[in-house]
Amino acid sequence: MPEIAKLPGISGFVVGPNDFCMSMNTPERTYSVSILEVQEQFDKIGAALSGSSKLFGVSGVYSERFVSDWVARGGNYMAMNFDFHYISNGAKNVIGSTRNMLDAMGRAY
């Protein structure tokens, strides 16, 4: 990996944790902070890219742990969540707000 980071014409790297986990054939076949083998590989990627002056990013689902882990590895940009997360979370917020309003009004739903 350090050799790849030194190649001219490569301006950055993006890690897709779910894709990476699928290629490792992890039991869950999806990213989970509980899989130590995967965490070790991500740490190696971060170490290999540190000091390379290349962009180093990750895409994934937001959590405080996700952000802190990747920042600690040297990640300097992140693509958070996906369109379906924004849509489903927006719908949950509307439903929750509506229920709260109806509860405050003493109305059944």
Tokens of 81: 């969540």
* Phi, psi (rounded to 5 degrees) for 68: -65, -40
List of E strands, the chain = 12-15, 55-60, 77-80
How many CB atoms are closer than 10 A to CB 84?
A: 8
Flag whether pLDDT at 16 surpasses 70: yes
9-18, 23-32, 43-52: which has the minimum mean pLDDT?
Answer: 23-32
State pLDDT tens for residues 37-86: 888 999 999 998 888 888 999 998 888 988 999 999 999 889 988 788 78
User: pTM of this prediction?
Assistant: 0.69
